[in-house]
């Protein structure tokens, strides 16, 4: 039992360090994280994925997956066509292209990486209830670890 608690404690420490490191890198590299909530980009990007979006250093090309804001929504779709006025986009799982043109000022950046299922954790931890549950579980594991350490001395 003691060994299991220690392993869980160590895993939590490693995960916390990874999250802090990732957040710092995103800030330094100007990468914006977003959670995918629809299946329009299946099978390239799954529902619940965490996507990392890099501010465009060059103009998007056909085939690039871009993130843009349209009508108050944040959308991640592939560039299907480039016109003088902007970009025609399409979700991989959609039969037709998106209506309207995505202009340069609507684009947030290009998707550079997707972590499957990580978005579910991010979404859960972005609520008050999720944070309370996470902190409570961590505190219980730390307390159990400390109590077991004290018993063994």
List the strands of the sheet with 31-35, edge to edge.
31-35, 50-54, 107-115, 65-70, 73-82, 87-90
Q: What is the pLDDT of residue 1?
A: 60
Query: If pLDDT is split at 50, 70 and 90, which confidence band does 11 have?
Result: confident
Q: At what angle do helices 118-125 and 128-152 cross, to 10 degrees?
A: 100
DSSP helix/strand/coil, 65: strand
Q: What is the mean pLDDT of the chain?
A: 87
Query: If pLDDT is split at 50, 70 and 90, which confidence band does 150 have?
Result: low
Q: What is the pLDDT of residue 152?
A: 63
- SS3 track for 23-57: HHHHHHCCEEEEECCCCCCCCCCCCCCEEEEECCC
CA distances to 19, 110, 128 from 33, in Å: 12, 11, 19
pTM: 0.73
DSSP helix/strand/coil, 134: helix
Q: What is the pLDDT of residue 39?
A: 95
**pLDDT over 70 (residue 49):** yes
């Amino acid at each position: 039992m003691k060994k299991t608690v220690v392993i869980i404690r160590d895993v939590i420490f490693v995960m916390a360090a990874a999250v802090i490191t990732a957040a710092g890198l995103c800030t330094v590299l100007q990468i914006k994280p977003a959670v995918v909530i629809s299946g329009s980009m299946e099978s390239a990007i799954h529902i619940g994925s965490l996507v990392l979006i890099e501010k465009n250093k060059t103009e998007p090309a056909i085939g690039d997956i871009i993130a843009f804001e349209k009508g108050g929504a944040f959308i991640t779709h592939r560039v299907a066509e480039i016109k003088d006025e902007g970009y025609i986009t399409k979700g991989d799982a959609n039969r037709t292209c998106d209506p309207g043109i995505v202009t340069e000022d609507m684009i947030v950046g290009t998707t550079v990486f997707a972590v499957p299922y990580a978005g579910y954790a991010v979404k859960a931890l972005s609520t008050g209830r999720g944070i309370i549950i996470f902190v409570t579980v961590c505190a219980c594991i730390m307390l159990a670890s400390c109590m077991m350490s004290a018993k063994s001395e």
